[in-house]
Amino acid sequence: MKRLALKRAAGEKTRVDIDVNIGVAFGPKANQFMSYLGFVSRDRLSILINSWDEVSEVDRNMIWEDVLVSFTLLLLSYNAF
């Protein structure tokens, strides 16, 4: 997370690949992305919230904007034949 914070402070973004069919990050930066999502969620949301459905629209937008400052999301679709 320290390297990510340094990149963010320098205005750089980390590219993360997302499979839109299943909604999962993959590739070399996927673990870093998922760790960051956990960090932001713990930092911004109450521990008393039981599910994502209980998160307000304002909090969702705040988390989304925070993610977009640090990451560039490349949405990919893989079709299984």
Please tell me the predicted confidence (pLDDT) of residue 69.
92
In angstroms, the CA 67 to CA 37 distance is: 8
Which residues make Cβ contacts (< 8 Å) with residue 45, sequence separation at least 6?
55, 59, 63
Tens digit of pLDDT at every position of the chain (81 positions): 788 888 888 989 999 999 999 889 999 999 999 999 999 999 999 999 999 999 999 999 999 999 999 999 999 887 654
